[in-house]
Amino acid sequence: MIRLVAWQAVTLGLALVALAVLLSVWWRQQNDRWLLVTGACVGLAPAFSAWSGLAFRVADYRSGCDGLCLGFRGAPIPTFQGETAGGQFLPGGFILNSLVYLVLLLGWAAVVHAILRQLTLGAHTRLLTRVLLGSALLIAPFALGPLFLPAPEAHVRGDPQRIAINARREIYLYDQLAPLPILRVALDDVRPRTDGQSGMRVCLRTYTFFYLPVGYMYLDMTPVGVHSNAGGVLPRTDSCWR
């Protein structure tokens, strides 16, 4: 997650616009259907930005904060702020986030186009082969993204951070309880255990393919915070703190 002050946001926005223009020019030189490709990317970019506000949610959290730290939604640029308050929409963040996705879509489409030109060996290759190969190259990075790129999460410091790191090492004890394969977790918060025992509870958001949210995983840590002695998974509609 990227937080920017005003001048940084303006600078990043101008740089992204320049990159998008350059990529559009490249597409115009490479393909007669450049307008279709550019138009599709322009349409998909805000859709991806809106989707990120639904998939990537960091609730207001307490650990490592003086009081309560505001949560956010959206990635890599927040598009909403303040989960508990229902979320304040950030129009500037949404525009910047859309520009980020526009550049990513245009850039990856260019990479796929170059790969296809090398692998399909000219116009004699069957159209179905090109379509299937192109679809695989476009979809696979998005589907497997959770294996390589972290999701937004709460930023904790000090001892809660140490406890959260130790908890991540024991995810394997409980991930088989989830209804879908867990490819990525993101820290939600670290708070005292809810069962009355000493120690802390670490709550993690869980994601599967395509960064689809699965729910939560909680790990109840021992008093020293090195290992967990209880844990489990919860659906998206539940909470780690009830």
> Which pLDDT score, from 0 to 100, does residue 77 have?
94
> Which pLDDT score, from 0 to 100, does residue 85 have?
46
> Which pLDDT score, from 0 to 100, does residue 68 have?
81
Domains in the chain: boundaries: 6-147, 158-235
Pairing of strands 72-73, 57-58: antiparallel
User: What are phi and psi for residue 5, nearest 5 degrees?
Assistant: -85, 175
- Residue 43, CA atoms < 13 Å, CB-side half-sphere: 6
> Which pLDDT score, from 0 to 100, does residue 233 have?
97
How buried is 146 (Cβ within 10 angstroms: 0-12 exposed, 13-18 middle, 19+ buried)? buried
- β-bridge mates for residue 72, sequence order: 58, 81
Q: What is the pLDDT of residues 38-68, one digit of tens each?
A: 999 999 999 999 999 989 998 888 887 777 8
Amino acid identity of residue 203, one-letter, is: C
pLDDT tens, per residue, the chain with 242 residues: 667 788 899 999 999 999 999 999 999 998 888 899 999 999 999 999 999 998 999 888 888 777 788 889 999 999 998 866 457 899 999 999 999 999 999 999 999 888 888 776 555 567 677 778 878 888 898 899 999 999 999 988 889 999 999 999 999 999 999 999 999 999 999 999 999 899 999 999 999 999 999 999 999 999 999 999 999 999 999 999 98
**pTM of the predicted model, to two decimals?**
0.87
Q: What is the pLDDT of residues 105-126, one digit of tens each?
A: 999 999 988 888 877 655 556 7
Distance CA 135, CA 74 (A): 26
